[in-house]
Amino acid sequence: MKSILLIGLNNFGQLIARQLNELGHEVLAVDRSEARVNAVLPYVTDAQIGDSTNEAFLDSLGVNNFDVCIVAIGDDFQSSLETTSLLKELGGKFVVSRADREVQAKFLLRNGADEVINPEKQIAEWAAIRYSGNHVFDYIRLDEGHAIYEVSVPKDWIGKSIIQIDIRKKYSISILAVKENGKMNLSVTPDTVLNESQTMLVLGDRKALEKCFRI
């Protein structure tokens, strides 16, 4: 369990609050809007109405006591930038800030953000990959060069074992798990036989994955 300071409670911030609650973390939520603060009260440990660009107010929250500070402000980049900078100056251990454009990400990183997230870009990338091919069911980007895809079993692999396919030797791709009827099987061995009702979670170089599965 981590202690998290969440600043900015628009739709994105509220979704983060709900997810953190489901994961069992302690969350202090902050926003200028009383209505937004009230909306997350059922999902957070504590919440306060205040201006995160006010150094005295931010300092009163005990920024250095939180494991992670998340700046989810999405409607006022100047406030997001000032908040990010202040959090770091006040001893924020790990500051994650939201950006909607690449130029914003650069400014945030220069002004104290340890990491930057761009939810619209990430969702756009996921949607483009997910819906551009009939055989791709999910996608997780790991870095610039590697990813995990959930894909259907190619027709010429059906009825064959993983060792017969020899995907690791041919493409340097690993089959992490197989999924069938919504259930994930992580106990994959070289003798696991694939069938047409399954999907596979495969890990590897993105170019190799795209070539192998014609993504």
Per residue in 30-67, pLDDT (tens digit) is 999 999 999 999 999 999 999 999 999 999 999 999 99
- Torsions phi, psi for 166 (to 5 deg): 55, 45
What gap in Å lies between CA 130 and CA 209, rounded to an integer?
14
If one counts every other C-beta atom within 10 angstroms of the C-beta of residue 78, the result is 9
Of residues 93, 128, 126, the one with CA closest to residue 112: 93
Q: How confident is the model at residue 90 (pLDDT cuts 50, 70, 90)?
A: very high
Q: What pLDDT is attached to residue 161?
A: 92
Please state the rounded mean pLDDT for residues 141-149: 88
Of residues 22, 76, 19, 26, the one with CA closest to residue 52: 76
pLDDT at 134 over 80: no
Q: What pLDDT is attached to residue 88?
A: 96
| Range from 49-53, 95-99, 184-188 carrying the lowest mean pLDDT | 184-188
Of residues 124, 162, 119, the one with CA closest to residue 10: 119
Please state the rounded mean pLDDT for residues 128-148: 84
Please state the rounded mean pLDDT for residues 78-92: 96
Question: Which amino acid is residue 211, in one-letter code?
Answer: K
Q: What pLDDT is attached to residue 52?
A: 96
Element (H, E) at 42: none
Q: How confident is the model at residue 130 (pLDDT cuts 50, 70, 90)?
A: confident
Note the CATH number of domain 3-117: 3.40.50.720
Q: What pLDDT is attached to residue 140?
A: 87
Per DSSP, the residues of 3-22 read EEEEE--SHHHHHHHHHHHH
Q: How confident is the model at residue 141 (pLDDT cuts 50, 70, 90)?
A: confident
**Are 73 and 58 within 8 A, CB to CB?**
no
Domain boundaries, the chain: 3-117, 122-213
Q: Which fold has domain 122-213?
A: Alpha-Beta Plaits (3.30.70)
What gap in Å lies between CA 36 and CA 122, rounded to an integer?
25
What gap in Å lies between CA 58 and CA 65, rounded to an integer?
12
Q: What pLDDT is attached to residue 50?
A: 96
Per DSSP, the residues of 93-150 read SSEEEE-SSHHHHHHHHHTT-SEEE-HHHHHHHHHHHHHHSTTEEEEEE-SSSEEEEE
Q: What pLDDT is attached to residue 92?
A: 96
